Structure 1
Amino acid sequence: MADNAFISLRGITKVYGEGATAFQALKGVDLDVAQGDFVAVMGPSGSGKSTAMNILGCLDVPTSGAFMFKGVHVETLDRDQRALLRRKYLGFVFQGFNLLARTTALENVELPLLYRGDAKDARREAAMSALEKVGLDKWWDHTPAELSGGQQQRVAIARAIVTNPDVLLADEPTGNLDSERSVEIMELLRGLNRDAGITVLMVTHEPDMAEFARTIVHFKDGLVDRIEQGAGKRAMH
């Protein structure tokens, strides 16, 4: 296991079901992620990439193997401890935005802080700051129906970063957007990675979106098939 790895997976397996119906989604995954990296995870359907991301996001647990996050053996944590880790260190962005329809952009962004029990004034200040980072502070009082798809995804990203996470996990963040909006969202993610130092882990099936990343990890048949450098590292200099 790499001594300085921010995130390390070693021999990670994941089996669903039992006996004759058992399906092995992961077959011994080894992966290191450096702090501050921007990683795109790619692979065909059924390759194991989504299962691996669910484990990295503490939404699922491996059947066997070691998962180290900031020096902690995550595979030994119970459900409540994993939830605490998620709340404190991780932010999530999904393809479908997952915004509450009848609430404003500001209120949507405040939600993680509300769950955390932060005071109202502190919530509002942090949420406005997050909206400002994604260029939507002037749209704070608009509901999702009054925002474009790209703006809705920006609100979702603001909600993911309002807790100042160390890691942002993005699952097909441009999947519902046209090419122009997709590039805008990728530029935003790259800016957050560069300027805020947030480690970004992104699942995508689009090679041109993966090129925004510094590292591209290809999954195949439940294993890491290969790792290559993306264009993002060059573009950021």
Structure 2
Amino acid sequence: MADNPLPLIQLRNVTKVYGEGATQFQALKGIDLDITAGDFVAVMGPSGSGKSTTMNILGCLDVPSSGEFLFNGFHVEQLGRDQRALMRRKYLGFVFQGFNLLARTSALENVELPLVYRGDPKAQRRDAAMAALAKVGLDKWWDHTPAELSGGQQQRVAIARAIVTNPAVLLADEPTGNLDSERSVEIMELLTDLNRTSNITVLMVTHEPDMAEFARTLVHFKDGLIERIEQNDKVPA
């Protein structure tokens, strides 16, 4: 029998401390977590539990105070700021609760932005952005600005922008937080489809148990520690 491949992401005894002296706060108290390539993970827990700090570390937006963070076996915690920025650009996509779209810019131009930063040629950027919009069902809305789109459509544009670089990992921070229940389900179904058809690993922070039900793995945080990890039997492996 072949050995199981290494997890895509490994956290080993990761801690995070903010401040010094009397103001010191330990946000993470020693986190161990393995994430398999292609998984859909929901990260849950009350405010201050450490889930957002963990996601910032996984997104290369912050660094551990101690411990190891391995991505494909590579020690990310040893990277400098510029190297972490390159890693974000190459391997990671981000979706936020507030969409973060440029107001006076078309859907197509919003989706092209990561490719502009990467220096891709104009024609190549346009083709890739149109393909990403097609994946989220908005290729016919390419010339509309955010003001001309519903909240659900805006979040679809934001997801297209996140996947246009073909990232290995999509990090979603409360992606349905600004949407009504019907639009929320649409966005979760879209993330599930991208996870399955494009094999994108999805890491999602959510406060909503019904949204977490779309994930295969549920990670519960409490007081700077992982309280428990469970597999969602309702979702096919």
Q: Which residue matches 2:94? A: 92
1:197 aligns with 2:199: yes
The one of 108, 111, 120 equivalent to 1:109 is 111
Cα separation, 2, equivalents of 1:87 and 1:195:
22
Cα separation, 1, equivalents of 2:207 and 2:104:
31
Question: Which runs of structure 2 are paired with 1:1-237 in the superposition (5 Å)?
Answer: 4-231=6-233, 233-234=235-236
Cα separation, 2, equivalents of 1:20 and 1:58:
28
How far apart are residue 233 of structure 1 and its match?
Answer: 2.4
Go from structure 1 to structure 2 and tell me whether the alpha carbon gap of 1:3 and 1:65 turns closer, same or farther (over 3 Å shift). Answer: farther
RMSD: 1.1
* Count of residue pairs brought into register by the alignment: 234
Cα separation, 1, equivalents of 2:13 and 2:211:
28
Letter in 1 for 2:90: K
Contact 2:44 2:219 survives alignment (8 Å): yes
How far apart are residue 231 of structure 1 and its match?
Answer: 4.9
Letter in 2 for 1:63: S
Contact 1:210 1:230 survives alignment (8 Å): no
Q: Percent identity?
A: 81
Letter in 2 for 1:18: E
Partner secondary structure for residue 160 of structure 2:
helix
Contact 1:212 1:231 survives alignment (8 Å): no
What is the TM-score of this pair, normalised by structure 1? Answer: 0.97
Greater Cα offset, 54-63 or 224-233: 224-233
Unaligned runs of 5+ in 1: none
Contact 2:38 2:202 survives alignment (8 Å): yes
Letter in 2 for 1:33: I
Cα separation, 1, equivalents of 2:83 and 2:235:
34
Cα separation, 1, equivalents of 2:144 and 2:129:
14
Unaligned runs of 5+ in 2: none
Deviations 1:69-107 (A, max 9, x none): 011100000000000000000000000000000000000
Cα separation, 2, equivalents of 1:137 and 1:102:
18
Deviations 1:182-224 (A, max 9, x none): 0000000000000000000000000000000000000000011
Go from structure 1 to structure 2 and tell me whether the alpha carbon gap of 1:178 and 1:31 turns closer, same or farther (over 3 Å shift). Answer: same
Go from structure 1 to structure 2 and tell me whether the alpha carbon gap of 1:167 and 1:20 turns closer, same or farther (over 3 Å shift). Answer: same
Cα separation, 2, equivalents of 1:89 and 1:16:
27
How far apart are residue 4 of structure 1 and its match?
Answer: 1.1
Cα separation, 2, equivalents of 1:20 and 1:97:
37
What is the TM-score of this pair, normalised by structure 2? Answer: 0.97
Cα separation, 1, equivalents of 2:79 and 2:117:
21
Partner secondary structure for residue 86 of structure 1:
helix
